Every structure is written in C-alpha cells, then in structure tokens.
Structure 1
Amino acid sequence: MIDYTPQSQLSLNMFKHPFEQGLDKENRWVKLAALIPWDSLAAVYSRKLDAGSGRKSVNIRTVIAALIVKHKLGLDDRGTIEMIQENIYLQYFCGLPCFTTQPVFDASLFVDIRKRLGGDEFEAFNQRIIESSEQIKPHQSRIKRKQQQQKEEATDKDKDKNDGPEKNDNRGTLKVDATVADQEITYPTDLKLLNTSRGNLERIIDLLYLRPADGTKPRTYRRNARKHYLNIAKKKKKTKKQIRRGIRGQLQYISRDLKIVDSLLLKPGRSELLEKRDRELMATIRKVYSQQKLMYENRTHQCENRIVNIFQPHVRPIVRGKDKAKTEFGAKINISEVNGFCRIDRFSWDAYNESTDLKM
C-alpha cells in the first residue's frame, strides 16, 4: 500500500501541533539542561563583560546554550540561530520562558562571542563541566558490583602471595594524542601564493592611484603576469624548471608593484585611503616576498615562520607524515583523555613535539 498526502490537502492552518501539551522529560535537551552547571559557566563568561556600562547584554544562558548547540550539532552561525528558532526543546535549553518565532539574537553576534572567549575561558568552561560531571556517579548494576567484588578479592589474594612491598594501585588510564585542526584554506603552493599576493598588490595600487593628481598610471603588466601564471598553473604535470621559472617571474612582478605602492604612499594623504585590513595585508605581502625570494635564491623550500596564506598569516605547515597528507595546515592540539573526559593541554599554531607534554 502507498501512503501519500496531496499538496492541496496540507496547509499551515490545518496542521496540528502539540504546543498545548507539556514537553517530554526524556528529551535529550531537557536532560542536558538539567546537567550543565549554568551558574558556574555564567560566572566565567561574565568576566569579560562590564556590568557598569554599555547596553544590556544578551542573556548569558542563551549565549552559552547557543554555543553548545552550535558545536554539538556541527552547525554554522546562521544555521544555529535557525535551528533554535525552529525547535521548542532548544529554546527551553537556551532558557527562554516560552516558545517564540523570533531569533534569540543576530547570527553576527557569534563573531563577538568568539573574540571575547579566549583559551583561558574555554578551559575554565571545560573544567567546570568536568567537575560537575564527576559528581554524577552512575548507578551500578548488581552484575557490575559482583564483578567488582570478585576483582577485589582476586587482588587481595595476589597481595598476600607477594612478600615484597605493596604497590600503589593504578588510578586509571591516560590517553594522550595530538591532532591538527585543518584550517579552511586552499592547498598552498609557492606559485599560487605569489600570484595571490601580486593580485592584491594590483588592487591596492588601484586604490592609491588618483588620476587627476598622478597623471599617467604606472604600468604593472598585470595581463602578462596573469598569462604567465596560468600557462604554468594549467599544466597537469609541471617540471621543477617550469615552477622555478614561474616563481622568478612572479617575484619580479611583485618587486615592481611594491616599488609603485611605496612611491604612491609617499604622497600626502594616500595612506589614509587604505583600511586597516589592507595595511596589514601589505605587511604580510612584504614578508611573503622576502621569504619566497630567500628560498628561491638558496634553492630551498624551508624558512622560519613560513607564511602559507596571506589572509591568515598565523597558519603554519605542520608535518605529520601520514599517508593521506604528509603536511597539514592548521592549529596543532594536544588532547588528554581520562575516564571519558577530554582536556586540551596545548594549542599552538606552530609545530611542536607532543612528547614534551607527557610529563606535564
């Protein structure tokens, strides 16, 4: 048999909803709301807020709950707000007094929340939740109790047989592992990085150049530079000689563009035409140019604090030696797990030897 509801027989007014009924106590969000130490988490979050000035903040319970929903369900900023807006159990979890069709707050607020919460606050959140969870001891069944008693009796017999000094019992199992949180960037190559830097330099030149005052616009040869880059980038197999020739050409184009930018910046009032983001980007491009030129002249692919993305200069290549990807790009995180609870012991954008954290 086939069951189907025609589109003409289903409308919003005819839809029946259970809002007149009570919420299910066995729902996972209802259970989780009763377990989380909201007061402790709110005290940690409120450290970064000023109680004596500014407008009234969004409810702290709602902000913390939205962060939990976001990471537990793996949603983006807008998706999290929409999910809370549609789900009555999530609205209860966020501390709302009643169901509403309005968003709890604007999705752009997540950006300020991430800036406000640093590594220390995140670790404090984690510690509060672990302390609260350790106080909740699950009910042991009779079988588990009997197995525990048998294990203790067997241990006592072994101790009686041994004449040596008593040894301390193992307190548990510690698991330590390091991983890399991949950053959302394109796979970097020297040629692609230089081409991106050159393109942004040409954009900055267009911003700084004023036609009536500067006369003839300086030549950047952007069409030739783009053509030379594509001639190499489109090849399925590239030889080392071709790549080296392409890097040399892009370095020459960038050197010319940097001289043009410097000459334009010497004119009064030109630096004010650049926003803070473009000024920081200029500093990053200069560093990329010096690094790439140094590696080109020395015929090497290694340098200290190597930049692999001009928009995220803090990202470093992390050599992992895996079959899937020998090198990963992102933050390296060292995590320890005890009794099912995980703690972030170290978070760094630079590569490090995780064995040094074992003693800690």
Structure 2
Amino acid sequence: MPSTSTAGSVSVGGKRVECDEDQSILEAFLRAGVWMPNSCNQGTCGTCKLAVLSGEVDHRDSPLETLSEDERAAGLALACQARPCGDAEVALRGDKANRATHPLKDLSATVVGIEDIARDTRRILLGLDEPLAFSAGQYVELVVPGSGERRQYSMANTASEDKVLELHVRRVPDGVASDKWLFGSVAVGDRVEAVGPLGDFHVVDESDDGGEPMALIGGGTGLAPLLAIVRTALARHPDRQILLYHGVRGQADLYDVDQLDALAAKHPGFTFVPVLSDEPDPERRSGFPTDAFVEDVSAAKGWSGWLCGPPAMVEAGVKAFKRRRMAPRLIHREKFTPADALTPAPPTNEEA
C-alpha cells in the first residue's frame, strides 16, 4: 500500500502526478488513472520501459537482464521498479500514447468460494467490498497473508461481473501462495487484500471493436482471462468467428468444458478445441494447441490473436499466428511463470 509521504512529482505527456515515498512511477500513474504500458509489473518483461527526460530515479530492484547498465546510462528506466528522486519528467518509448485506463485501487475482499475444478487447479471466488472497474483479461495482485509476498492472478470475469472475482489457481509444490495458502490454509470467510486492475492484456474498447475473427490459445490456467475475453467478444458480436484452444497435459487437467460447449452451442461461430500434450485421449486432439491452430487455419489475415500461458507456448503461438499472416499489432500475449520456480527474478503474471 502506498505511503503518504511524497517523494516528488512525475510528468508524462503533459500529465503530472504526485509519487508517494517508496511508490513506483508506474503505480503512481495507474492510481491516478493515467495509462502507462504494463504487463508483469515485476521488472521481468520490460513492457513499462521509459525514458527519463529530466530529474533522477532510483532503479531499485530492476534486473540487469531487463534493464542493462548501458540502458540505465542512456536514461532508460523500468516504471514498475523506478522511484523518483524528486521531480522528474519521463516519456514513453516509440509511438505509444496515453489512453484511458481504470485507476489502480487497493481492494478488500472475502473468500466466498473454493472449488477444485481440475488436477491441481482451483477456482477461488473473492467477494469485493466495493465493485471494481476493469477490462476483461486484466489481473489482480493478491497479498499472501503473513509473508509479505504478492502474487498475480488473471480474472475470468467480464467487466459487468465486478463484485465477485473469479480466479483460477494452479498448484505449485511448496508455492508460498498456491500450495501453502490457496491449496492449504485458505477458507471461506477469510479476508484478502489485493491491488488491481493491472495489465494491458485485455479486450479493446467496444467502440474500437470491429468484430474481427479471433484465435485464442491458453495453456493451463491461462484459460482464465481468455474466458473473459471470449464472453465479452461474443456479447458484442454474437455471430463472430472465434477459435479457442486450451492446451493441457491430460484429460484430468481440463475444466469448464461444459460451460464452453454450451457457449459453442449458443454461438455457431465459436469453436472450443481442447488439446492434450502428454496423455492422449481418443476423444481429444493430441499435441500442442499452437500446432492445432496451424492445422485448422490456412490464413488469419485480419484476425486478432490472444495467447496466455507458459512462455514457451506463448512464443510458439506468436510464430504460429505470424505463419498464418496475422498482423503483429493484432497479436496480444500474456506469459505465466510460477513465482517460486524463479531465482531470483520474479514472474510475468504469476501463478504460484
């Protein structure tokens, strides 16, 4: 939670906000409702990299793998890690421009539901004290009780489902958040503190949605934000062509199949394709979901693509989409990496 002591003010594109002591530049802008590109918010992806035009910043825990010494010397910084040392002015790189965003908020919630939905996978429902404005596909960051650790989980909700958040959690052995908390001590009625919404992996504004065909590929609990995106897209354009691939190891890892089959029955343009990589089943596709997409689609020019899951799957998906002539600007991606599997770097949208 931010402190009340001001470290300085920071401006970008003519918009200036106050930055509290020990508050990152990114958090200060997002809390003020000023958009900045952001994805992992942990310093590992580089999405929020910006140029410091004036003033100085403390880079804090910015990894050298993401922000090299040469980049620091050239005046670059990671907005999610850097703290201003007094007043400063920054600029986004490239042709990125400020756009509307939902303000970042501190959230208080109560655990209202816990359900085992697949092998080592749980659905956690959090009832919010106050509704949360967000876009389908975004995530929240939970505070792990008693540890000081924070973990990120995508919401499976549409924007209208703003009072009870649905999170899908994969169990990671010895994980501080998953194994010890969300598969361990958590109970219905527990209070949970969180921050959100976060991330640029989300549907476009309805005014910008032309109803183009969509291909979505999710690995494991990477299905969560894709469910929200698919349901939002179909609500806007019921006849839209949408292909959703869910890649898992075996039949025991699939979940929400009945819900997705029902959605396909209601919307003939929507197709759900489960793909099993390690434990073949005669009733399911075998292999990898990215290969299944290439087999099914001969050309994807004009389509939008959505990828969410392990880094290797996401990178394979980008190649598959480009192979079918999908425009790079229409390819959206979110990488999931278990937090406790990384040392010392934290993840991009954590699952642990």
Range of TM-score over shorter length: under 0.3
Name the structure with the higher strand share: 2
Which has the larger Rg? 1
- Normalising by structure 1, what TM-score? 0.25
Name the structure with the higher helix share: 1
- Normalising by structure 2, what TM-score? 0.25
